[in-house]
Amino acid sequence: MSSSFDQIVVSEEWENTDVSLLETLDHVLNRGLVIAGEITISVADIDLIFVGLNVMVSSVETAQEVLRRRQMETKAE
């Protein structure tokens, strides 16, 4: 692999950066099909959530805790 090219495969090299956590959260929280549920979280809320998440991601310990849970859950596959 070229030194100028990084490939992060979401499910395999998960633990290596906290940017991946934010990247994933960005995908899940912000996108996906919006279909009229009886309760849906509005876009305005999502932006607020991100303020908190940025803080959380920079707090390594909390981020690690989220990652650990995710790894446990993925292992269950």
Partner 1 sequence: MTAPAYYVYCIAESASAAQLPAESLPAAIEDDAKLEWISVNTLAALVSQVPRQTYNEESLAEHLTDATWTAIRAMRHETVAEYVAKRTSVIPLRFGTIYLERNSIEHMLTEKSRELEEIIEHLRGREEWGVNVYCDRAVLLSSITSVSPVLRELAERAAQAPPGQSYLMQKKIDALRVDEARAAVNRIVDQIEANLKEQTDDARRLRILKVETTEHGELKAKFAFLVKRSSFEEFRDAAERLAQEHQPAGVRLELTGPWPVYNFVNPI
Q: Which residues of the chain form contacts with partner 1 (CB under 8 A)?
A: 1-11, 19-41, 45, 48-50, 52-56, 62-63, 65-66, 69-70, 73-74, 76-77
Residue 22: other Cβ atoms inside 10 A: 17
Residue type, 32: G
Min dist CB 15 to partner 1, Å, is 13
Compute the least distance from the CB of residue 43 to partner 1, in Å: 10
Rg (CA), the chain: 15
CB of 2 to partner 1, least distance (A): 6
CA distance 53 to 59: 9
